[in-house]
Amino acid sequence: MCFYLRKSIVFLLIIFIFVTLKIYANKEEERTLKKTLILCLHDIDGEGKYSITKEEFIKILDLLKNDYQVLSLEDFYLSKKNKKNNKPAVILTFDDGFTSVFDTIIPLLREYNYGATFFIYLNRYDDTSSFYKKLTLLEDKFEIGSHTLSHDNAISYWETDISKFYKEIYLSKKKLEYLTKRDVVSFAWPYGKYTKDMYEYVKKAGYKIQVSTDYGLAENSLKEIIIKRLTVQQPEPVEQVKGFLKYYSKKKGAEKDGS
């Protein structure tokens, strides 16, 4: 009888410890920020409103230097790296895979010791392009994500050509993984266009993170099925980022106050 009693007490004690740790973990999670800032950039010293100058890019990097940890989507959402840093995160993403990725962006990010995610659409370059070879040599802090094969608006062919949709989503992942010799877990919707049904297909293709260009701060977890980003563009991109950071700071203050 005493044996079974001791066994029951030990069992109840284990349950008590487990529940206590679970409650503590949930409280710790509640203390962390619920929102984070993801910037969507494109080209440096190129053409069009989504291209910024090298000088503007450096000023933006300087804005982040002291008060933020700057990292990729994968490192923020899927690893524990951001948990070791008390600074709020800013996630840098670069769409389309312009040549400025290696001419300007990567060298500057290395200088600042920042991480980032690069979304590539594969039809921009031939399979034998040195661009893909260079991607294989990048450090782990630089994540490679898919931006489909063609960069066409997926909604335009979603209902009329499902085989094209499958190729754009699934084959872009497999091909990019083959060319870069690394896992591809993040996906950016071209032009930020998507539907909930389309999200489910992309999830089934093996992507763990999906981002749009929906305006706003992103959820600090993957509960938000399509993650929001704030696009940096002309005119005055530096002032624009200052505004984003001010809004982010205000939101962090409100969360800490419990409002």
DSSP 102-164: IIIIHHHHHHHT--EEEEE-GGGS-TT-HHHHHHHTS-TTEEEEE--SS---THHHHTT-HHH
Higher pLDDT pick, 163 / 132: 132
User: Do 105 and 132 fall within a single domain?
Assistant: yes
User: Do 153 and 214 fall within a single domain?
Assistant: yes
User: Do 42 and 8 fall within a single domain?
Assistant: no
Percent of the chain scored above 90 by pLDDT?
54
Distance CA 226, CA 234 (A): 25
User: Do 180 and 216 fall within a single domain?
Assistant: yes
Cβ distance 122 to 105 under 8 Å? no
User: Do 24 and 42 fall within a single domain?
Assistant: no
Tens-place pLDDT, residues 26-85:
433 333 447 899 999 999 999 999 999 999 999 999 999 989 999 999 999 887 655 666
For residue 154, which of 96, 202, 214, 222 has the smallest C-alpha distance?
A: 202
For residue 169, which of 183, 150, 144 has the smallest C-alpha distance?
A: 150
Into how many domains does the chain fold?
2
User: Do 141 and 214 fall within a single domain?
Assistant: yes
Domain hosting residue 198, numbered range: 35-257
Tens-place pLDDT, residues 183-227:
999 999 888 777 777 888 888 889 999 998 888 898 887 777 788
User: Do 22 and 55 fall within a single domain?
Assistant: no
Per-residue model confidence (pLDDT) at position 32: 42
User: Do 15 and 51 fall within a single domain?
Assistant: no
User: Do 113 and 26 fall within a single domain?
Assistant: no
Per-residue model confidence (pLDDT) at position 45: 96
User: Do 196 and 245 fall within a single domain?
Assistant: yes
Beta bridge partners of 36: 218
Measure CA of the first residue to CA of the last residue in the chain; give whole Å: 54
- pTM score, two decimals? 0.82
- Give CA angle at 27 (77, 85), nearest 5°: 45
On the question of pLDDT at 104 being above 70, the answer is yes
Cβ distance 13 to 20 under 8 Å? no
Please, what is the average pLDDT of the chain? 83
Tens-place pLDDT, residues 128-145:
899 999 999 999 999 999
Tens-place pLDDT, residues 229-254:
999 999 999 999 999 999 998 876 65
User: Do 8 and 48 fall within a single domain?
Assistant: no
User: Do 113 and 184 fall within a single domain?
Assistant: yes
Q: What is the DSSP letter of 88?
A: P
